[in-house]
Structure 1
Amino acid sequence: MSFEWQLSTPEAEGMDAKLLEQIDDYVKQKRYRLINSVIIVKNGKLVYERYFNKCNENTRHSIKSVWKSILAIAVGICLDKGLINNLDEPIGNYLPAFAGHNHHYHKLITIRHLLTMSSGIYWNGGVHYHCPMMQQMMRTNDWLSHIADIDMHSVPGMNFQYKEWDVMLLSAVIGKAYGSTAYDLIYHEMYKPLDIASGIWPSSPCGFSYTVMKGEEQSDLSARDMAKVGFLFLGDGSINGNPIVSPAFVKQAITPSYPSYGFLWWLSPAGYGCRGFGGQEVNVIPEHQFVSVIQATPTPSSKSYPDIHDLFLSQAIK
């Protein structure tokens, strides 16, 4: 299986090309110097592609927390292959440190809780989410044992809290189930079939994949490859008739677990998408067979750019 985008024009796919032409001026007016790419896929075709700062279709950016949404796909693949029995399995079945020896709530944490950011493990992201707790963990040799020593904030499943512990543990569970790492699963079962180019995700000292810290640039994807992530879910887990993950899992992943959140996918009234620090976005509007991608250079003071999607990309749909 191989995949290449078909090309078209906004006009041919029923979009307002004149509105899209205003994006350049808007980016300059707002002084959005860190934005590097804006693309649109409509009706399965690449209809708009704009690059800034000497970037092009081959330029790759660190995806930051878009990784979380891709990790959710890995869980779906594990379910499809029977490597995970169900989402309500205790993670202690895969991670002995969470079998209940450190805290009696640990044995209540399930895979579903990790997918919905509701493990109940205490988390403090720090000022501007600079994650001092993560830095402390990274100074140890056994990250799983370190996380297992952190106090529980609430009963698992009771509260949503966006945090890194849950995806770290989820990656470890996926690796145990697959017999390798979460990256290996994604590479062989998703990236390779879809011709997605990415470096190897880093590994923790105890052997699970991760890619959320500053400077971890090996998780980079091009804007076109980012669009494939959204297009995969738009196609109920298949692209061009080739299945990657089951429609049943896709449906669960984009069903609200908490307001505006599914299985590591952000939800909106019009659709769903992925978000990464510093302005990495994938937006999907199923009703209009629409996928958009925004990429930017992340910096400690960088921001997100939802206004570009809200004022131009989605509004260009006629």
Structure 2
Amino acid sequence: MKKILSLFVLSTLFSCGSDDSATPSTPEEQMYFPPIGSTVWETKSIASLGWNQSQVQPLLDYLESKNTKSFIILQNGKIVMENYFNGHTSTDTWQWNSAGKTLTATVTGIAQQEGLLNINNKVSDYLGTGWTSESIDKENLITSRHLLTMTSGINDENDLVTITNMIYLADAGSRWSYHNVFQKLMDVVAASSGQTYENYFNSKLKNKIGMDGFWNNGIIYKIYHSNTRSMARFGLLALNKGKWNNEQIINETYFNESISTSQNINPSYGYLWWLNGKSSYMVPGSQTQYNGFLVPNAPAEMYAAMGASDQRIYIIPSKKIVIIRMGEASDPTNPSFAVSGFDNALWEKINAVIN
């Protein structure tokens, strides 16, 4: 028997009185933010949105068959679907993998708005020279912005970020290559703020939006772990361009840069965010440029955090939708580092529900 916890709660309907002859147009629903330090999270029903209830079970069946542990859809901040599979629960934590890169991009932007760093300055301004094995003149070409955009030029044959592995392959800015050297941004934030990266992250981002979770030292780099609702909280912040309730956590100008094409090599990449709807894209581990959208079945406007084994945060601004998927790799025989065919197949199922 499938062990699926489904949450579809009917919204409460409010009327404005019995005389509808002069009823004004319905005001736009205000964006909802779940309270900090509480498990309370308002919900709305699929029926109230006019979505296709008959396609929900096929979506859930597909998710379960693809080793999913949890799945959430928010609309305007409220939970429409919240499902857990294969014994996973709402309080269990799971790793974000590279979807957590977007956390680092956000915290880097916060440090910049506080005047602690400038992403256009060279990394050695903060870490000192010799943080790579490149010659000083080549190392000094690398800025924090290059780390944000995957254009450091550091050799990508070994993802273990040690000084001996960080050797020259191309001038910074001349080559897009997905590489874990992005984690040096954590060191830049720590050095510029005078505190550990975790402490800065917790005070400037995690605590402000009510996330749980922790950074764990993985085999290759630090990986964030949290429950699924915490990932959804960050997705809600991203939907609102860095604003949580009445506080602008990360300035909108920087966030908009983050979800825009960041260089002229891979148009589908921002500041550690993946972008749909562009003319072409590249994928980790390859220098091939593929024509077309990153995820053809997904809305062109979508931006996404994507991590190994199909950890996902999808953001659809026009529909005010955030979608979270956490779990094991959808295809254990061919686990992806970020983008995979799973996205397109999943979006076919999602579209059947929300369109």
The partner residue of 1:105 within 138, 157, 168 is 138
The one-letter amino acid paired with 1:263 is Y
The partner residue of 2:107 within 74, 78, 83 is 74
Identical-residue share of aligned pairs (%): 24
**In structure 2, how many angstroms separate the alpha carbons of the residues matched to 1:21 and 1:99?**
51
Does residue 287 of the first structure (1) align with residue 318 of the second (2)? yes
**Computing the radius of gyration over CA atoms, which structure comes out larger, 1 or 2?**
2
Alignment of 1:186-201 (within 5 A): 186-201=201-216
Cα contact 1:120–1:152 (8 A) shared by 2: yes
Unaligned 5+ residue runs, structure 1?
A: 126-130, 138-142, 203-210
Cα contact 1:37–1:295 (8 A) shared by 2: yes
Q: CA offsets, 1:198-239, max 9 Å, x none?
A: 12443xxxxxxxx5739x7x7211111111222111111012
Cα contact 1:99–1:107 (8 A) shared by 2: no
Cα contact 2:129–2:136 (8 A) shared by 1: no
**In structure 2, how many angstroms separate the alpha carbons of the residues matched to 1:110 and 1:274?**
22
Aligned to 1:140: none
Aligned to 1:152: 168
Where 2:209 maps in the other structure, the secondary structure is coil
Q: CA offsets, 1:143-164, max 9 Å, x none?
A: 4x435xx331111111110011
Where 1:7 maps in the other structure, the secondary structure is coil
Structure 1 residue 241 displacement after superposition: 1.8
Alignment of 1:34-73 (within 5 A): 34-73=67-106
The one-letter amino acid paired with 2:99 is V
Cα contact 1:13–1:42 (8 A) shared by 2: no
Aligned to 2:127: 95
Does residue 213 of the first structure (1) align with residue 220 of the second (2)? yes
Q: Name the CA shift for 1:112/1:312 in 2 (closer, same or farther; >3 Å).
A: same
Cα contact 1:274–1:281 (8 A) shared by 2: yes
Structure 1 residue 293 displacement after superposition: 0.6
The one-letter amino acid paired with 1:213 is I
RMSD: 2.4
Aligned length: 286
Structure 1 residue 265 displacement after superposition: 0.3
**In structure 1, how many angstroms separate the alpha carbons of the residues matched to 2:95 and 2:48?**
32
Does residue 245 of the first structure (1) align with residue 260 of the second (2)? no
**In structure 1, how many angstroms separate the alpha carbons of the residues matched to 2:327 and 2:210?**
22
Where 2:236 maps in the other structure, the secondary structure is helix
Where 1:104 maps in the other structure, the secondary structure is helix
**In structure 2, how many angstroms separate the alpha carbons of the residues matched to 1:2 and 1:56?**
20
The one-letter amino acid paired with 1:15 is W
**In structure 2, how many angstroms separate the alpha carbons of the residues matched to 1:168 and 1:249?**
19
Does residue 263 of the first structure (1) align with residue 294 of the second (2)? no
Q: CA offsets, 1:68-112, max 9 Å, x none?
A: 11100011110111111x321111100113489833111111111
Structure 1 residue 300 displacement after superposition: 7.7
Structure 1 residue 301 displacement after superposition: 4.9
**In structure 2, how many angstroms separate the alpha carbons of the residues matched to 1:312 and 1:283?**
14
**In structure 2, how many angstroms separate the alpha carbons of the residues matched to 1:222 and 1:42?**
19
**In structure 2, how many angstroms separate the alpha carbons of the residues matched to 1:57 and 1:288?**
25
TM, length-normalised to structure 1: 0.82
Unaligned 5+ residue runs, structure 2?
A: 1-34, 278-300
Does residue 181 of the first structure (1) align with residue 188 of the second (2)? no
Q: CA offsets, 1:240-299, max 9 Å, x none?
A: 222211111110000112321000000112210101111100000111101101111256
The one-letter amino acid paired with 2:112 is L
